[in-house]
Amino acid sequence: MIVVAELVLVALLLGLLVLGGWAALTAWHGAGPGPGRLPSRDRAELAAAIGRARWVPGHDEVDGLTRVLLRRTYTGLDGRPAVLEERVLETFPAQDPAWEALFTEAMSRARFRCAYLNAEESA
């Protein structure tokens, strides 16, 4: 009877060791997406969206300067645009008396440059 009890005890300890090892391995590798990690389908959709990223013109004002920008954007999983890269094409004072003419010219150059960059990337 003592031998059977010892065998049951050894089997129970081995089972606990295996279960603990499995739990540790699962925690180490991650059983699922986990916090901050997307499921594989969403990762594939995001990668495809980034692959379709396009250059678009933009502008903002920083420290009294108007900046005309080239932005490489894609549509995120939430449906909103996300910026991958941003380049400053031109800057000029926001209070310049000729601001509207400068802005119109700079945006025209930005649209042309974006069309060129998009053509280059699609070739």
Query: Could you tell me if 110 and 75 lie in one domain?
Result: yes
Q: Tell me: pLDDT of 1 over 80.
A: no
Regarding whether 117 and 59 lie in a shared domain, the answer is yes
Closest CA to 93 of 102, 81, 84: 102
CA distances from 103 to 12, 57, 96, 97, 114 (A): 77, 12, 10, 11, 16
Write out the residue range of the structural domain in which residue 14 sits.
Answer: 1-30
Reply yes or no on whether the pLDDT at 20 is more than 70: yes
Count of domains observed in the chain: 2
pLDDT tens digit string along 39-91? 888 889 989 999 999 999 999 999 999 999 999 999 988 989 999 999 999 99
pLDDT, tens digit, 9 for 90 and up, residues 3-17: 777 887 888 888 888
